[in-house]
Structure 1
């Protein structure tokens, strides 16, 4: 399809910005919010009719045209061309599809607010996660609503689901655990708590008792599963610690695991888990998730940026990068990656938000 002449495209006013950010995914949204908070003028564009890019939570009807269907107009990256001015060169950009070929069957349901598709899978956050801290510091928490993951973590063991104990009281109240398991698990958590307290204290404040509570460097470098075996945790208790609390994502008890947790990494995650429990009055467990999907996270930072004066334009793509002679002199070997296709503006798809 022939592209409309450039003079038919609606213009963006103002025409000069300190920062232009392409795509409204989570990293780009955090960057835009930070730049706007620092007093920079920001233009934030996205080729989609919604915020979030690949971090979005979208209705199913939007999934097909936006992400899955290949774009027949996409062509390979064109070589740099002259802008008609010897002091500038133009690098044309074209959008790449996520999948080279997609096959679909059936009809998508009509628009509905009853469910959305999480493009990168459902996610939960520790209450003390760095992302939550960033939301609190930036004010983004005012633009997103969270809910607690009810019941805490569950462990699937020998065909049944078991609640994961999160405190001394829950350990000894758990009727599914043997008395020996309860005692060993409690002693292990007590040891980890003492190590975390000793490690967080400054060097001048560490006494002999606190220093002796710290886990040795040799043990911290061990695979975490070996350290758990060293403290005689049963297979079920090791599974609780490794997968329900430390969140290991592969079987730590086999040689086929690509990434073995070290004791240091495992204890860091246990510390995060422990500090997450009870952090918020309306979240009893360690985990929370955005009520309307994790696509709310980039939108929260976009709203923060908009409050600080950032300009948002959806359904807009960057078609080319204009490089000055000064830039090419400083970065003679700089490569520009192909990220976008289609013109910078379209006749009927320009949209401004906030």
Structure 2
């Protein structure tokens, strides 16, 4: 809609940002009869959940990312291409910081859309690290430019996540009818990764009995955990008897788990992080959700969206909002001011001014923010489908004093071309202290496959500084969990307040 058509209009709700939570809120508010204006300063949908081609990802890193939210982006390139293995720590690294970004962005602004990413690479080359010789950097640049020729075959997510089959997000998609417009496939495997190899986690009774790497005693221990913890009444009684101790202590003392069995249940099934204190009640609940999810859509507990789950779901909610009468505007900076002492807000966007009764916003739209949880992420394109060519898998790396979550995707999710694969890895904490841990996790998982391009970034979950202003609601960014349920719960909490 043109600015002149908006000028002077009033809306029940103005939503700033098109991330997953904002999109859900806008859609549900419009469906609930509210007049909604949905604005994003960026030229794309998805916010922190966006999905890009490789060239668009480079353009995002140079031109569009919010430095408060993503202060660090590094692109590592195997200068040998697909010829031979090269350690990640030895690969030329294109550092996109404030200095290099300003230089590259100036040239991007003057370049045609089709050549923006390649132009940025040429401008970033002088800032490459690990470049012991110009030839090595030139080779890395050539490798990246070759990828850009076919980059539409890659769908790269900023914050990859899956959906629990009996989780809140799947229920929301079904209830809203949006599930008809989003495609999923099952996450077929769950792996435990250590420096000495990759091992599949047996997830059902059938898997446990068929597993050839477990002894009879180990099988009995796992069966006891599944039958006891997955049962509501038994788990309640166990929690009462043990005084609701920490879940890892319960597994060690009550079920006598240790080593890889403990890691498989604690890290791969219950998804407990290294520094996360989860009590027995919550741990049992996580196991129950996991086990109950198996069988709803096949033998798997999780579903993975095609073409990028978070981005596709976000855009589907945005379309549903538009169907319900919502108005959308992209590439528009906005400012928000209280209208008067009686409530409401004045929203300025370009030459137009609109009124809003309530405002929902991504924290990046707040004037002052503080940093919350910090995550280190890696996105690695591999030369071969190391864990299978037509499959999707979750994995957990447990070693070197850390726990790293991993998601493996192939042509099965339309994310990479046939013959290639992509590995996402993330861990809580800053990149300076976790980059080596991520490198270990990637190397242990990919085995003999060659990492061709690896992007590292540090992301901050921003929180708006405390404000006494009523009727402004702040959303959250992608957290460290592997699934989308927290986003669905947080969005629903705000929706209930808006529709009172």
- Alignment TM-score > 0.5, same fold: yes
CA distance in 2, matches of 1:102, 1:146: 41
Pick 1 or 2: higher relative contact order, CA cutoff 8 A, min separation 6: 1
1:271 counterpart (273, 280, 288): 288
Match of 1:91 in 2: none
* Correspondence list, 1:66-105, <5 A: 66-69=60-63, 98-99=70-71, 101=98, 103=100, 104-105=124-125
Is contact 1:127-1:279 (8 Å) kept? yes
Higher share of residues assigned strand: 2
2:300 counterpart (262, 272, 285): 285
Match of 1:84 in 2: none
Is contact 1:148-1:288 (8 Å) kept? yes
2:210 counterpart (126, 149, 173): 173
**Higher alpha-carbon deviation: 259-268 or 239-248:** 259-268
> Structure 1, residues 155-211: CA drift from partner, whole Å, max 9, x if none?
1246122221122221111111000111121122111133x1467xxxxxxxxxxxx
The structure with the larger Rg is 1
Is contact 1:20-1:44 (8 Å) kept? yes
CA distance in 2, matches of 1:139, 1:241: 34
What secondary structure is seen at the aligned counterpart in 1 of 2:337? strand
- How much has 1:17 moved relative to structure 2? 1.9
Is contact 2:164-2:290 (8 Å) kept? yes
What secondary structure is seen at the aligned counterpart in 1 of 2:37? strand
Say if 1:266 and 1:68 are closer, same or farther in 2 by CA, change over 3 A.
Answer: farther
Match of 2:329 in 1: 313
> Structure 1, residues 128-175: CA drift from partner, whole Å, max 9, x if none?
12111111111121221111112x211124612222112222111111
Residue 43 (structure 1) aligned with residue 43 (structure 2): no
CA distance in 2, matches of 1:155, 1:244: 7
Match of 2:193 in 1: 156
- How much has 1:29 moved relative to structure 2? 0.7
Residue 127 (structure 1) aligned with residue 165 (structure 2): yes
Residue 295 (structure 1) aligned with residue 307 (structure 2): no
CA RMSD after TM alignment: 3.0
Residue 23 (structure 1) aligned with residue 17 (structure 2): yes
- How much has 1:242 moved relative to structure 2? 0.6
Match of 2:249 in 1: 226
**Higher alpha-carbon deviation: 318-327 or 164-173:** 318-327
**Higher alpha-carbon deviation: 135-144 or 96-105:** 96-105
- How much has 1:113 moved relative to structure 2? 2.5
Match of 1:206 in 2: none
* Correspondence list, 1:5-24, <5 A: 10-12=4-6, 15-24=9-18
- How much has 1:14 moved relative to structure 2? 8.4
TM-score by length of 2: 0.51
CA distance in 2, matches of 1:70, 1:277: 39
CA distance in 2, matches of 1:156, 1:338: 35
What secondary structure is seen at the aligned counterpart in 2 of 1:50? coil
Say if 1:111 and 1:241 are closer, same or farther in 2 by CA, change over 3 A.
Answer: same
Match of 2:240 in 1: 217
Q: Identify unmatched segments of 5+ residues in structure 2.
A: 72-96, 101-123, 126-140, 345-360, 368-500
CA distance in 2, matches of 1:184, 1:226: 15
Say if 1:70 and 1:31 are closer, same or farther in 2 by CA, change over 3 A.
Answer: closer
Is contact 1:61-1:110 (8 Å) kept? no
Is contact 1:144-1:300 (8 Å) kept? yes
Match of 1:238 in 2: 262
Residue 304 (structure 1) aligned with residue 320 (structure 2): yes
Say if 1:68 and 1:340 are closer, same or farther in 2 by CA, change over 3 A.
Answer: farther
CA distance in 1, matches of 2:163, 2:286: 12
**Higher alpha-carbon deviation: 296-305 or 36-45:** 296-305
**Higher alpha-carbon deviation: 103-112 or 14-23:** 103-112
> Structure 1, residues 210-241: CA drift from partner, whole Å, max 9, x if none?
xxx72142525212221112122242211110
Say if 1:158 and 1:326 are closer, same or farther in 2 by CA, change over 3 A.
Answer: closer
- How much has 1:325 moved relative to structure 2? 3.8
CA distance in 1, matches of 2:3, 2:195: 63
> Structure 1, residues 323-346: CA drift from partner, whole Å, max 9, x if none?
224239xxxxxxx988279xxxxx
CA distance in 1, matches of 2:69, 2:60: 10
Q: Identify unmatched segments of 5+ residues in structure 1.
A: 1-7, 75-94, 200-212, 251-257, 329-335, 342-354
1:339 counterpart (348, 352, 365): 365
CA distance in 1, matches of 2:99, 2:184: 34
Is contact 1:67-1:97 (8 Å) kept? no
